[in-house]
Amino acid sequence: MTADKTLSLYFSLFNEIGIISQLSSALVNEQLPKGLSNAHFNVLIHLDRLGDGQTPLAISRAFQLPKTTMTHTLCGLETHQLIEMRPNPKDGRSKCVWLTQKGHAFRNKIINNLAPDLIKLSTQIPQDRILNTITGLAEIRKIMDANRED
């Protein structure tokens, strides 16, 4: 295969991915109140799924974002009382991030509001298609992630 063909193939891939990323962000944003963005919601999801009590640095690494960005995002979540920042008992420099009751409830509410849109999607696209696409994406993601480090 020519280099040109390869390039345009991957440009197509990344173009589709970019568009869907934007569309899915829009879906979530529609459900969020003013003052809270995708960035905030993703952190809530993350803490709920993988457990809270993590440090800000660990979270910023999980999202591969600069820690200054995470400081800002966590600050917003704390202002809205969706998380609590407590000192890290194991390291005086560090903090631990905990979901509050309100944070849990908020996450659940947003996910519930999201459900109709996603369930509608699931009626429009065969499940096999989604599963196969996820499999392909996961492979691509793993390799790109591995390449990133060298």
Residues within the interface to DNA (CB under 7 A): 35, 37-40, 55-58, 65-69, 71-74, 76, 85, 88, 91-95
Residue bearing tokens 């990323």:
21
Whether residue 85 contacts residue 95, with contact meaning beta carbons closer than 8 Å, is answered with yes
Residue 51 contact among DNA, a copy of itself, none, beta carbon within 5 to 8 Å by kind: none
Q: How far is it, in rounded angstroms, from Cα 147 to Cα 150?
A: 6
Residue 73 contact among a copy of itself, DNA, none, beta carbon within 5 to 8 Å by kind: DNA
69 forms part of the interface with a copy of itself (CB under 8 A): no
Cα atoms in the 13 Å half-sphere on the side-chain side of 137: 13
Q: How far is CA 143 from the centre of its chain?
A: 19
Which range touches a copy of itself (CB under 8 A), out of 5-13, 51-59, 71-79, 88-96? 5-13
Residue 109 contact among DNA, a copy of itself, none, beta carbon within 5 to 8 Å by kind: none
Residue bearing tokens 């409830």:
105
The one-letter amino acid at 147: N
Minimum Å gap between C-beta 149 and DNA is 16
Q: Which positions ≥6 away from 96 have C-beta within 8 Å?
A: 52, 53, 54, 55, 85, 86, 87, 88
Q: How far is it, in rounded angstroms, from Cα 7 to Cα 20?
A: 20
Minimum Å gap between C-beta 129 and a copy of itself is 5
Residues 76-115 that bind a copy of itself (CB under 8 A): 111, 114-115
Q: What is the contact surface with a copy of itself in residues (CB under 8 A)?
A: 1, 3, 6-7, 9-14, 16-27, 45, 64, 111, 114-115, 117-122, 124-125, 127, 129-134, 136-141, 143-145, 147-148
